């Protein structure tokens, strides 16, 4: 390997870097090699049989939509055949009020409820006007161009910061309408405040602010008006048959079949930079590998301070990178092996809740998650963090558990990795597992500790200990806010995947635009940047796609 040289070396085999590598190999016609520190490729596309024999749980990314992978589905006809198969749920979102466990709210998936009328009927139990407003949001997204503008934004290179992206242009045009329910002031409000300006029912607001807090927006932060489309986004969500690692299997197989090469357990220590140009990489064992192009799949911190070095960057750049926060989105992501899925008391009114994709066990306060966030920001564990659950059984996805059994993905939010010692985390993890089961039992009496076969207690401590990209335990890598999303992500200078000051060096990863998740866009857009600079094939142009 010491004598090898490639057209492209890719640092890390995570979900974004792997997609960039695939496009560079298959469409760029380049000789590409991926170097990965861990024992396998795939990054957040990870599923393990760790909770109990025969039971599969997703350890990171779990809920996604098929549109996360639209470029791959269009450009690689075998992507689905090789493992990218999805299954959906009849109900996308649900909420149960734990002090009133028969009080529930269900939002149906787009596939079961394309017009939104079934979901609106649920909302109308609390407010007829809110049901009408929900349908207006549904029309805007699915039938009046917002979804198309979103896809054009997230799968194209970010524009300069002083120019609008396609989604911003859509909002501007929409808000000119006399019947518009959004205006510039509502768009600038926090999600909590904008929700109170748009919806009467605290029940609907409580559910949606709970959902967004698990994703990428603190409901107290400004610019939260657009977050009220979260219901429409979640109405399209699916999961991957057999676990999200099957996405990794599909991409790896395509990469290798097209001539790509990869090494695992090979950690990169430095990017070799000569006269302002990236020339290759140096591994921790001292091996040097030459390349015409270097693509980093690492987080901004590692890229700036370890792989490149401050001496090769402008002070403004490394100061910005050092200021990026990564202390908020800390998820306990536990998967339980169970004898059966929860059967909720609320099923007496609507039995569809038992097979809902996500059920939030909430207190009915639209500021519940904001209050939790305030405590965590002060370094205090919330005394009773909100629990949400996502089930599978043989009827939902028969590949994840033995016949007649179930898995249950359960999440809460908590503190960063370094806030507890290893011994404290070990105790905390079991305490949290008990909290989860106790909270579920309040609303679904069939779930007790006797229901549990096994559990994978995946905490920020585990995440931060495994993944250098997520050293604090933050699964989003960098905390999102208006200044670190979209065309600003992770910093303006790097948002278009190029690294000013170091020629032939490109970067991608979850911290890059357009949003933090396991979708393929960051890797796809990184390829677009290289394709622009080196005049490589552009399949989106060949096939007439706007993205």
* β-sheet bridge partners, residue 277: 274, 503
| Mean pLDDT in residue range 240-245 | 96
Other Cβ atoms closer than 10 A to 95 = 26
In this prediction, residue 518 carries a pLDDT of: 87
How would DSSP label each residue in 315-354? HHHHHHHHH---SS-BEEEEEEEESS----GGGGT-GGGG
370, 439, 483, 506 from 324: Cα distances, Å: 21, 34, 10, 19
How high is the pLDDT of residue 514? 83
Strands 288-296 and 5-11: parallel
Residue 328 has a pLDDT of 87
Q: How far apart are CA 21 and CA 33, in angstroms?
A: 8
Q: Report d(CA 454, CA 338) in Å as an integer.
A: 7
**Whole-angstrom distance, CA of residue 349 vs CA of residue 85:** 33
Q: For residue 8, what are its two tokens?
A: 């492209």
Q: What is the predicted pLDDT for the residue at 3? A: 65
pLDDT at 386: 97
If one compares 218 and 94, the residue with the highest pLDDT of the two is 94
Number of CB atoms found within 10 A of residue 325's CB: 13
pLDDT of 107-150, one tens digit each? 999 999 999 999 999 999 999 999 999 999 999 999 999 999 99
Question: In CATH, which of 2.40.30, 2.60.40, 1.10.3210, 3.90.660 is domain 52-64+86-109+327-475?
Answer: 3.90.660
Is the pLDDT score of 230 beyond 90?
Answer: yes
Stretch 493-518: mean pLDDT, rounded? 94
pLDDT reported for residue 166: 98
151 or 4, which is more confident: 151
Task: Report the distance separating Cα 129 and Cα 476, nearest Å.
Answer: 35
> 3-state SS of the chain: helix, strand, coil percent to 5?
40, 20, 40
Contact 331, 214 (CB under 8 A): yes
Torsional class of 397: left (φ above 0), alpha (ψ -120 to 50), beta (otherwise)? beta
Task: Say what the pLDDT of residue 481 is.
Answer: 85
Percentage of residues of the chain with pLDDT beyond 70: 99
- Residue 27, SS3? coil
Q: What are phi and psi of 146, to 5 degrees?
A: -65, -40
408 forms beta bridges with 336, 391
Q: What is the 3-state secondary structure (H, E, C) of 91-108?
A: EEEEEEECCEEEEEEEEE
Q: List the one residue out of 226, 106, 54, 75 whose CA is nearest residue 547.
A: 75
Report the half-sphere exposure of 150 (CA within 13 A, side-chain side): 18
Would you state the structure tokens that stand for residue 279, as one six-digit string? Answer: 């020339």
Model confidence band, residue 2 (pLDDT cutoffs 50, 70, 90): low
Q: At what angle do helices 166-174 and 146-154 cross, to 10 degrees?
A: 160
> What does the pLDDT read at residue 294?
99
- Sort 523 into a burial class: Cβ within 10 Å, 0-12 / 13-18 / 19+: buried
Give the pLDDT confidence of 525-539 residue by residue, as tens digits.
Answer: 999 999 999 999 999
What are the structural domain ranges in the chain? Answer: 5-39+264-325+477-542, 52-64+86-109+327-475, 117-236
- Does the 5-39+264-325+477-542 domain belong in CATH 3.30.1390.20? no
Residues β-bridged to residue 358: 93
Alpha carbons 17 and 15: distance in angstroms, whole number: 6
Residue closest to 166 by CA, chosen among 450, 486, 420: 486
Q: pLDDT tens, 459-482?
A: 999 999 999 999 999 999 999 888
pLDDT for 215 beyond 80: no
Q: Do 52-64+86-109+327-475 and 5-39+264-325+477-542 have the same topology in CATH?
A: no
| CA-based nearest residue to 280, from 471, 51, 48, 3 | 3
Strand duo 387-393 + 358-362: pairing: antiparallel
The torsion of the CA quartet 289, 295, 300, 305, rounded to 10 degrees, works out to: 20
pLDDT digits (tens, 9 = 90+) for 56-84: 999 988 998 889 999 999 999 999 999 99
CA angle 106–110–114, rounded 5-degree value:
110
Reported pTM: 0.96
- Tell me the Ramachandran region of residue 203: left when phi exceeds 0, alpha when psi lies from -120 to 50, beta otherwise: alpha
In the beta sheet, which residues pair with residue 338? 406, 452
26-39 core/surface letters (b: 16 or more CB in 10 A; e: else): bbbebbbbbbbbbe
Q: Report phi then psi at 152, rounded to 5.
A: -65, -30
């Amino acid at each position: 390997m010491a004598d090898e040289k490639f057209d492209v070396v890719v640092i890390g085999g995570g979900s974004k870097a792997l997609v960039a590598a695939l496009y560079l190999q298959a469409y760029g016609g380049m000789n590409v090699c991926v170097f990965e520190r861990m024992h396998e490729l795939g990054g957040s596309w990870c599923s393990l049989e760790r909770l109990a024999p025969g039971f599969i749980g997703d350890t990171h990314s779990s809920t996604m939509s098929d549109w996360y992978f639209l470029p791959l589905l269009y450009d690689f006809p075998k992507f689905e055949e090789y493992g990218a198969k999805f299954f959906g749920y009849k109900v996308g979102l649900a909420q149960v009020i734990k002090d009133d466990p028969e009080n529930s709210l269900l939002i149906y998936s787009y596939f079961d409820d394309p017009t939104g009328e079934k979901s609106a009927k649920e909302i109308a139990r609390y407010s007829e006007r809110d049901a009408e407003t929900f349908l207006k949001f549904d029309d805007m997204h699915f039938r009046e161009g917002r979804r198309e503008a979103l896809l054009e934004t997230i799968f194209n290179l970010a524009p300069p910061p002083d120019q609008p992206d396609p989604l911003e242009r859509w909002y501007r045009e929409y808000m000119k309408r006399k019947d518009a329910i959004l205006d510039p002031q509502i768009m600038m409000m926090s999600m909590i405040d904008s929700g109170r300006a748009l919806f009467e029912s605290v029940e609907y607001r409580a559910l949606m602010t709970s959902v967004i807090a698990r994703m990428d927006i603190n409901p107290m932060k400004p610019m939260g008006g657009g977050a009220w489309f979260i219901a429409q986004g979640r109405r399209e969500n699916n999961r991957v048959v057999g676990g999200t690692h099957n996405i990794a299997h599909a991409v790896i197989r395509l990469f290798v079949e097209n001539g790509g090469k990869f090494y695992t357990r090979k950690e990169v220590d430095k990017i070799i930079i000569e006269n302002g140009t990236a020339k290759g990489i140096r591994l921790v064992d001292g091996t040097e590998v030459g390349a015409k192009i270097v693509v980093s799949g690492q987080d901004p911190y590692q890229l700036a301070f370890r792989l490149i070095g401050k001496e090769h960057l402008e002070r403004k750049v490394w100061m910005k990178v050092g200021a990026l926060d990564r202390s908020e989105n800390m998820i306990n992501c536990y998967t339980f092996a169970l004898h059966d899925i929860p059967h909720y008391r609320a099923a007496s009114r609507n039995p569809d809740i038992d097979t809902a994709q996500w059920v939030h066990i909430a207190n009915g306060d639209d500021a519940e998650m904001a209050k939790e966030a305030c405590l965590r920001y002060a370094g205090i564990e919330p005394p009773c963090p909100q629990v949400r659950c996502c089930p599978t059984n043989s009827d939902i996805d028969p590949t994840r558990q033995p016949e007649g059994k179930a898995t249950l993905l359960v999440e809460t939010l908590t503190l960063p990795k370094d806030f507890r010692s290893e011994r404290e985390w070990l105790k905390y993890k079991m305490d949290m597992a008990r909290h989860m089961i106790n909270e579920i039992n309040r609303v679904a009496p069939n779930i007790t500790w006797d229901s549990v076969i096994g559990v994978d207690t995946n905490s920020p401590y585990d995440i931060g200990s495994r993944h250098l990209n997520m050293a604090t335990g933050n699964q989003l890598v960098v905390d999102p806010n208006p200044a670190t999303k979209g065309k600003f992500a992770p910093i303006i200078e790097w948002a278009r995947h190029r690294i000013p000051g170091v020629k032939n060096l490109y970067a991608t990863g979850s911290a890059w635009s357009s949003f933090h998740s396991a979708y393929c866009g960051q890797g796809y857009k990184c390829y677009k940047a290289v394709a622009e600079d080196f005049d490589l094939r552009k399949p989106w142009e060949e096939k007439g796609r706007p993205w």
